[in-house]
Each structure stands twice: as C-alpha cells, then as structure tokens.
Structure 1
C-alpha cells in the first residue's frame, strides 16, 4: 500500500529569547539555507486575488502554489504545489498568448513604479467606450 506524503507548514515569529532558550535545551544550528524567489502575476494581480502564487525559485525552477481541497477547516489552508511546467501551464490555462511588453514599460514597472502607475492612469483616462469619437474624430 502506497503512503501519501503530507507537508505541514506553520509559520511563527520567534520571541527575543527563543534562540538562547533553544541553545540551553541543547539545540544547535544544523545548517542554514538562503534562496531567492521571484513571484509573477498580472498587472491586475489576478493570480494573487485567486490565491495562486507563481514563483521561480532560485535553483529549483518554476512552482505554482494554488488552493487545494475545498472544505479544509481550522487555522490552516491546503495548497497544491505544482513544479512541472506543463502542469503549471495547464492549471493556469492562459489560452491567449499575450504579446511581450515593451522594454521601457518593463523597466518603468520595475525601477520607476511611480512613473509606471502615472502612465497607467493616463492610459485609462484616454480609453473611450467602443464606438465613441475622440477629439480628433477617430472612432475608438
């Protein structure tokens, strides 16, 4: 009979005396691991709003963490973690291939977010409902 593995993760913030108390109890630091994650989402944060977390973990590749079984009760949630790229793409199911953003827009979004937000606001103000004329007489 096969056994399923279940990972239980609980995050906590240790108090100021935690490390000293652990040492008093004989605890030692076995090893320390440092890594970087890069999280990805749409400009509207549609993945995070749906509780989906798409990341590229340094040295591990792509991971998608998404809600698992419904009906889990208690102070925890169950997530499914996908690490195989075809499974991630299938879960996200983005049938329309978006065009790559302009380099300047990506630069502004990353390094000048205030200017990027102002550009988005100006763009929204310029958008007209379909079929209306702009001041130059062109149809929108």
Structure 2
C-alpha cells in the first residue's frame, strides 16, 4: 500500500521570552527561509468568500488552497493544496451551474409578454462588455 505525506501545521503566537527559553533548552536557528507570495482574487473577493486562496509563490509557481474533507474534527482545518496549473484552473473554472430564473422574470414571460419583450430590448441596447477568448480569463 502506497503511503502519502501529511503536512501538519499549527500556528501560534510566541509569548515574550520564547526565543530565550528555546535557547536555554538547546534550540538553535538552523536556517531561515524567506519567500514572497502574491495573492489573487476577484474585485468582489469571491475566492476569499469561498475560503479559496490563490497565490503565486516567488520562484515556486501557483498554489490554490481550498477546503478539504468536510467534517474534520479537532482544533485544525483541512485544506487541499493544488499546485498543478490544470488542476487549479479546473477547480476555479468548473462550468457554472444553471440557476432558476427570477420569479419576476417568469411572471413577465407568462403573464406580461409585452413588458418582458420591452425589458429584453432595453437590456440589449445597453453597451455589453466584449467577450475574451483568453482561456485563463477566469483567473483574473
């Protein structure tokens, strides 16, 4: 049976004197890692609202952190970390689910078709944004 790796991360705020106490216990700084992340989202912050975190780590590439398995118990949160660009794009750009039309629209279509037609004409006369052919347009 193949075994995978599990990363356990726990965040804490060290109190005053923590570094000195660690040194008293024999701890030393082995190495320091510095990196720069750039986070991306939509103007409406839709990724953040969905608990998705899209970042590009300097010299490392893209990463998307999104909620993992539901129902995880304990003082932790489980996230999937996607690093393959096709997987990230698939996660962020799955086909939009069709939604039911608004009740008012259905009412106009059924009982006031003239008003519905006028509404369509008014909306079609407004300036529409141009569509993009860029396959990565959904990454903002």
Same fold (TM over 0.5): yes
Q: Size of the alignment, in residue pairs?
A: 103
Q: Residue in 1 aligned with 2:30? A: 30
Secondary structure of 1:87 counterpart? helix
Instruction: Mark the structure with the bigger radius of gyration.
Output: 2
Q: Does 1:83 align with 2:83?
A: yes
Q: Distance in 1 between matches of 2:61 and 2:120?
A: 42
Q: Distance in 2 between matches of 1:37 and 1:94?
A: 25
C-alpha displacement at 1:95, in angstroms?
Answer: 5.7
Q: Superposed, which structure 2 residues align to 1:4-83 within 5 Å?
A: 4-83=4-83
Query: Relative contact order: is structure 1 or structure 2 higher (C-alpha 8 Å, sep ≥ 6)?
Result: 2
TM-score by length of 2: 0.67
For structure 1, list consecutive stretches of 5 or more residues without a partner in the other structure. Answer: 97-128, 134-138
Q: Cα deviation per residue 1:67-103 (whole Å; 9 max; x = unaligned)? A: 000111222111000001000000111669xxxxxxx
For structure 2, list consecutive stretches of 5 or more residues without a partner in the other structure. Answer: 97-118, 127-140
